[in-house]
Structure 1
Amino acid sequence: MFGTSGIRGPVGEVIRTDLVLNVGRALASQGAETVVVGRDPRPSGATFADALSAGVRECGGDVVRVGVAATPTIARSVGWLDADAGVSITGSHNPPSDNGLKLWTDGGQAFRGKDRHEVIRRINRRAFARADWDEYGTERTWDNATETHRRRIVGAVDRVDDLSAVVDVGSGCGGGTARALSSLGCTVETLNARPDGRTPARPSEPTAEHCATLCRTVAATDADFGIAHDSDADRMIAVTDDGTFVPGDVLLALFASEFVESGGRVCAPINASRAVDDAVAAAGGEVVRTAVGDVSVAARAIECDATFAGEPSGTWIWPAVAPCPDGLFAAAQLAALIDRRGPLSALIEEIEAYPIRRRTFAVDDELATMEAVRESVVATHRSVDRTDGVRVDRDDGWFLIRASGTEPVIRVTAEATDDERSRVLFGEACEIVARAIRDRETGGRAETTALSAEGGSVNGI
């Protein structure tokens, strides 16, 4: 039921009102007396928010509705309201036809482990503690969630001097970023700021391709940097003052080196570039590697007392502030960093980037395909890291093959010290996946098309 970041899938197939209703019942049945509920602007979100609230109240819990709000706003509101749990109804960076649920503890951390298992157990067994007719829970609204988030950001980040920014909200619910940056002293121009769950201007995921308009706008103006979010604004990507899209690995290395303490730790997933290790080592710190996904990264950051954690996908976590990805807070931190140290274009030049290639294969059954890949890699390679999928390290590079936790796809990543070696390792990894797919096709199931161009994409400066 749960992927790497909550429950997610196509509306009407995976995400239905009966499932959402039962999640609400399960939360209240396992002790959540007050649940914060918010959503992104997808058309299906209002119906699912009603269903979630009904399930909670049927089992005696109270609901606080915060309306359309960013996922980090919802997650942090659990603590601000002294509630027991929170639910963000969002499809995140998935297409508008998808939706999902991200569940948050009273500490603002994503559900994991036993909390997830208990939700699944109660739904599977219909083990709901329904309240008596006169003990149903109540519902109220709280309209100050986004404003409270803005105030918290302004109180935690240094003001800036005469910076200008372009913020591409992506028709989602990250408009609070523009207000926070303005409060910190930035002049802000927005793109796609009107919430629209159909994402008419660009796809939700803030990739280089999807953010071409943002890059052109920053380059054509005197803006010092650009920001883009996905639909629920837990992700944040950046564009430099000259309109260059900053690869996620490079921004991760920059943030990690800036916020690691000497002798301290930062957390990054197993698919992040070695550039992160180099930058953090130069700053006197250590990188702790984790499974991919903000839930795993955040949990490990708390366990090892890390000062910062992040992913190349654009999720950034400051555990001392909140144990959840916060795209709004990250945008403010980036503004303060630029104000302290100078243009973003110059800052990323300090990061020694390696040629890194990524490719995505769509499959009908990612778990079965990944099992075939795993068997092949383990049988043919002496040392295999199985933290998440299979990773093979060589002296001059590495490759990783893993199943996505949010979509039915297999992801391939390869990196090396030079472009030719990166190409060779990438080709080796892609052939392993292609062979596993061909083997399954011989059973009569045609399962895949590559989503990216042949040869994959190369990230660098």
Structure 2
Amino acid sequence: MGRLFGTDGVRGVANTELSPELAFRLGRIGAYVLARGKKQPFIIVGKDTRASGDLLEAALTAGILSAGANVWRVGVVSTPAVAYLTRYLNADAGVMISASHNPVQDNGIKFFGGDGFKLLDSQEDEIERFLKEQDTLPRPIGAAVGRVYDRTDAVEFYKKFLIGTVRNRFEGMTVILDCGNGAAYDIGPDVFRRLGANVIVRNGEPDGSNINVQCGSTHPEVIQQTTVEQKAQIGLSFDGDADRLIACDENGDLIDGDYCMAICGQALKERGELVHTTIVTTVMSNVGFIKAAEQLGIQVVRTSVGDRYVMEAMREGGYILGGEQSGHIIFLQHNTTGDGVLTALQLTDILVEKKQPMSELRTIMKTYPQVMINVRVQDKMAWRHNPSIQAAIAEVERALGGDGRVLVRESGTEPLVRVMAEGPDVDTVRQYVENIVTVIRQELGK
């Protein structure tokens, strides 16, 4: 068995790779590791709208109960709702059943510690170690086994928390929400309506099989078209578990995670709330964001790709704002993970506060054209030590100077080298990338 935990929990095709047997063992071992030594521990379990969520919830719950922990089932909620409720309700752990933006046949199991943060590598490693061994964990009997309590009312605590994070009401605003037929289908529209907005919902009728199907944050064309047609002030699109947001302005122009961080970072800085005047992001953020931050007097800390690395840097440095271009935005003063609905509320709150159209707020930065090509190779690490490849990269870096950048990195899961460059002119950037790719293929190609 290779490493089971990826960058965002355990994922696979439900009922095959992610089987009910595996879910049972993950629940049983996870409860033991995370609630060991606790008297009458309880664990919160939530899920998104996939049909396989019921299957995995039943197996996972049985595993937790077999370890002597109680389960509070909170029903269909977002991943950030599970993180918040785990902390708010003083649970010993939380588990979300979701595969985020993946297709419906996939599902996943993601653990949170009692503090609402994703598990440490050491905790995941311990769970994996127990998975590889024969099951010798304690098996309580009689009244000592765990019990199930349905707490679908708990989502109300999360909704009230979300509403309490904004300064303004949204009366007079028309807002488009694409819920991706996922976990935000109730939470998103409800909190925006409570704040007074006129909400037009797209893809808010999940049936167990339509999550992420031509909708949600991976298909922003839905909000782009609807926002223009309905003359709305903003369009907001969530992924399957609602931990990311992609938005658009009133003209349908996209606002990705880089734009969100720039707009929110400026507002927080103006309020004197941007701790250390710093935003944390990954190496994939557009060079336009970096230049915008410099002009705003905001420092940028860059990490490897993945929101867990962003979170690590935020916690180590005491920063409160960070995220990814893909729309995972973390407001650490509010919640312990990326939160799509929270980000949507913050963005809309700033729109109301500034009394400017979103198209004007969007001018805070200019996206530089970005070109990326994946190259299949025999040894994906060899580019790092190949003189010809390094010379080709250095030549492009010299040509771009301070007006762009090159990023070459190996895939984490496939025998690929990814070559990306950004600069003012897309045709020039494409040529630069192709120059590097040609050398990589000559040196390392199959």
- Give the deviation of 1:202 after TM superposition: 3.1
* Aligned residue runs from structure 1 range 102-121, under 5 A: 102-121=110-129
State the SS of the aligned residue for 2:51: coil
Residue 346 of structure 1 aligns to which amino acid in structure 2? E
Q: What's the TM-score once normalised by structure 1's chain length?
A: 0.84
Pairing 1:207-246 to 2, within 5 Å after superposition: 207=218, 210-246=219-255
Which deviates the most, 132-141 or 82-91? Answer: 132-141
Q: Distance in 2 between matches of 1:430 and 1:199?
A: 38
Aligned to 1:83: 91
Match of 1:132 among 121, 137, 140: 140
State the shift of 1:433 in Å.
6.8
2:79 counterpart of 1:71: yes
For 1:128 and 1:358, how far apart are their aligned partners in 2? 49
Contact in 2 for aligned 1:70/1:174 (Cα 8 Å):
yes
| Structure 2 CA distance for aligned equivalents of residues 336 and 424 of structure 1 | 42
Q: Which of 141, 151, 155 matches 2:150?
A: 141
CA distance in 2 between counterparts of 1:104 and 1:436 reads 44
Structure 2 distance, partners of 1:432, 1:11, is: 41
What is the Cα deviation at residue 204 of structure 1? 5.6
Q: Which residue in the other structure is 2:361 paired with?
A: 347
Change (3 A) 1:263 1:295: closer
1:169 to 164, 179, 196: 179
1:288-327, CA deviations, whole angstroms, 9 ceiling, x for partnerless residues?
Answer: 1111111111121111111201101111101111120111
SS of the residue 1:64 aligns to = strand
1:298 aligns with 2:311: yes
Cα 1:277/1:72, change in 2 over 3 Å? same
Is the contact made by 1:73 and 1:145 (CA closer than 8 Å) also made in structure 2?
Answer: no
2:210 is matched with: 199
Which structure: greater helix fraction? Answer: 2
Q: Is the 8 A contact 1:166 1:214 kept in 2?
A: yes
Matching residue's letter, 2:192: L
2:9 maps to 1:3 = no
Distance 1:64 1:432, change over 3 A: farther
The yes-or-no answer on 1:158 pairing with 2:172 is no
Q: Distance in 1 between matches of 2:247 and 2:130?
A: 41
Query: What is the SS of the residue equivalent to 2:183?
Result: coil
Q: What are the superposed Cα offsets for residues 48-76 of structure 1, whole Å, 9 maximum, x if unpaired?
A: 01111111111111111111111111111
Q: Distance in 1 between matches of 2:379 and 2:76?
A: 42
Q: CA deviation at 1:30?
A: 1.4
Which residue pairs with 1:19 in the alignment? 22
Return the alpha-carbon distance in structure 2 between the equivalents of residues 94 and 360 of structure 1: 21
Change (3 A) 1:140 1:230: same
SS in 1 for 2:159: helix
Match of residue 427 from structure 1: 434
Provide the residue aligned with 1:255 in structure 2: 264
Alignment partner of 2:343 out of 317, 322, 330: 330
Q: Within 1, Cα distance between the matches of 2:156 and 2:438?
A: 50
User: For residues 106 and 441 of structure 2, what CA distance do their matches in structure 1 show?
Assistant: 27
Larger mean CA deviation between 261-270 and 116-125 belongs to 261-270
1:239 touches 1:245 (CA, 8 Å); kept in 2? yes
Gaps of at least 5 residues in structure 2 are 36-40
Partner of 2:382: 375
- In structure 2, relative to structure 1, the CA distance for the partners of 1:55 and 1:434 (3 Å cut) is farther
Bigger shift: 48-57 or 281-290?
281-290
* Correspondent of 1:98 among 99, 106, 127: 106
Are the structure 2 counterparts of residues 304 and 133 from structure 1 closer, same or farther at C-alpha, using a change threshold of 3 Å? same
Which stretch shifts more, 125-134 or 142-151?
125-134
Query: 1:384-399 to 2 correspondence within 5 Å?
Result: 395=401, 396-399=404-407
Cα 1:241–1:144 change in 2 (3 A) is same
Across the aligned residues of Structure 1 and Structure 2, the Cα RMSD in angstroms comes to 2.7
Quick check: 1:184 aligned with 2:192? Answer: no
Between 1:87-96 and 1:375-384, the stretch displaced more is: 375-384
371-380 or 84-93: which moved more?
Answer: 371-380
Q: What letter corresponds to residue 347 of structure 1 in structure 2?
A: L
Q: Match of 1:194, SS?
A: coil
Report SS of the residue matched to 2:421: strand
What stretches of structure 1 of length at least 5 have no aligned partner? 364-368, 386-390, 440-461
Distance of aligned partners of 1:434 and 1:6 in 2 relative to their CA distance in 1, 3 Å threshold: farther
Q: TM-score, normalised by structure 2?
A: 0.87
Relative to 1, partners in 2 of residues 1:24 and 1:201: Cα closer, same or farther, differing over 3 Å? Answer: closer
8 A Cα contact 1:373 1:432, kept in partner: no
